[in-house]
């Protein structure tokens, strides 16, 4: 009986050692994966910093003024007038925001047909597209 207990304990210890080794190996793999992800994040952050520095260099007013004067004839740039800027309240209504036909809005006798409703919606869409903002010069 003493030998059976010894064999069982050896098997249990071997199984525990195998499970411990497997868990340790998986943890090392996950740690390596985390390090790779951290390295990728650092690379992305460095790239973003480099792109921001490049953008700051490219958008320097003195550089842009030099480019404007150099390519004045080709670009034909003119200063923006204050009347060319529109406020959000001056913009026309989006087609998605147009009122939808409601059957409750029919006449007393309810004689509005589906065809008339479509015509009404089409007219409203055209009117929404032709709203004048007053701040943009007509072409």
Q: Is the pTM of this model over 0.75?
A: no
pLDDT score at 139: 46
pLDDT score at 134: 52
Query: Within 10 A of 136 (CB to CB), how many other CB atoms are there?
Result: 12
DSSP secondary structure letters along 84-106: G---GGGSPPPGGGSPPP-GGGS
Q: How far is CA 81 from CA 84, 124, 137, in A?
A: 5, 32, 11
Split the chain (139 residues) into runs of 10 and give each run's mean pLDDT. Answer: 87 97 97 97 97 95 90 84 76 69 57 59 58 51
CB 133 within 8 A of CB 83: no
């Amino acid at each position: 009986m003493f030998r059976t207990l010894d064999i069982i304990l050896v098997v249990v210890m071997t199984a525990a050692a195998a499970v411990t080794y497997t868990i340790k190996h998986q943890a090392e793999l996950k740690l390596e994966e985390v390090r790779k992800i951290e390295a990728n994040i650092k690379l992305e952050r460095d790239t973003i910093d480099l792109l921001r520095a490049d953008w700051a260099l490219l958008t320097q007013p003195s550089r842009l003024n030099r480019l404007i004067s150099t390519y004045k004839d080709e670009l034909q740039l003119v200063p923006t007038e204050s009347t060319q800027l529109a406020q959000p309240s001056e913009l026309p209504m989006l087609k998605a925001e147009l009122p939808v036909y409601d059957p409750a809005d029919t006449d007393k006798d309810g004689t509005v047909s589906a065809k008339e409703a479509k015509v009404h919606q089409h007219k409203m869409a055209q009117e929404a597209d032709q709203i004048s903002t007053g701040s943009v010069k007509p072409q």
